[in-house]
Structures are given as C-alpha cells and as structure tokens.
Amino acid sequence: MSLPKPGKPVRGSKSGNHLMALFDLLGRSWSMGIIWRLQEGSCTFRVLQDRCESISPTTLNKRLKELTQSFLIERTVDGYTLTDKGREIFLLLKPLESWAKDWAKKFESNE
C-alpha cells in the first residue's frame, strides 16, 4: 500500500488529500480502538484480540496489515507495537477521551 486505498482515490479525498486518507484509514472499524489498546503496551495477536473483546480475527488481521503498511504499528518478535507515528496519533486522539466523558452527559440529561 502506498497510501490507504491506492489507485482509486480514497473515500472523500481528491488525490493528495492526506487528511482524508487518514480519515479513511481511521474510519474503518476498530482502527482507533486498536491504536488505543496497543498504547496499553505491545502485545501478541491473541492478547490484542482479547483487549478488543469482540473483534473478529479476520478484521483484526486486516486492520493490523493496513496499520502496519501505514507505518502506525509494526511487528516485532513478540507481537505488535505502536511506531513513533502510531504513538503520535494516539496522543492526538487522547483528548477525545475526556471530551467523550463530557459528551455522555448529553445523553443522560436534558441539557
């Protein structure tokens, strides 16, 4: 893979729109969840599968390949790890955590 979905343009992007390519990558099922869980520490396929609770091995495998080819994670002798780039995105995603907590109130109250 050169950029996610090479050849035909990435969902929602003219050629050269890297942000949309990123949205496309992160916008696949479990992408962000996997990054989040890998931040807890490098681990094997099975352990990652357990951390993700309900992911199917088929999807996990596919996502891992994509994220690896996108330089966000890499395989080592003892499993999968976030790369520097991967950790960078994690840090960008992190603020969503507390935001989400606050957002949840909207669903409870009539704020």
> Applying CB under 8 A, which residues contact its own copies?
2-3, 9, 11-12, 14, 18-23, 26-33, 36, 52-55, 71, 85, 88-89, 92, 95-97, 99-101, 103-104, 106-107
Please list, in sequence order, all residues whose beta carbon lies within 8 angstroms of the beta carbon of residue 53, skipping any fewer than 6 positions away. Answer: none
Place of tokens 């989400």: 100
CB of 109 to its own copies, least distance (A): 11
For 35, 62, 77, 99, 101, the CA distances from 41, given in Å and listed in that order, are 10, 20, 14, 23, 23
Query: Which CB atom, from 19 or from 77, has the smaller least distance to its own copies?
Result: 19
Considering only residues 25 to 84 of the shown chain, the ones binding DNA according to CB under 7 A are 28-30, 44-47, 54-59, 61-62, 64, 75, 79
Total Cβ atoms within 10 A of residue 8: 7
* Residue 19 binding: pick among DNA, its own copies, none (C-beta 5-8 Å cut-off by kind): its own copies
Query: Which CB atom, from 6 or from 41, has the smaller least distance to its own copies?
Result: 6
Please list, in sequence order, all residues whose beta carbon lies within 8 angstroms of the beta carbon of residue 73, skipping any fewer than 6 positions away. Answer: 34, 35, 38, 64, 67, 80, 81, 82, 83, 86
Which residues in this chain contact DNA in the complex, by CB under 7 A? 11, 28-30, 44-47, 54-59, 61-62, 64, 75, 79
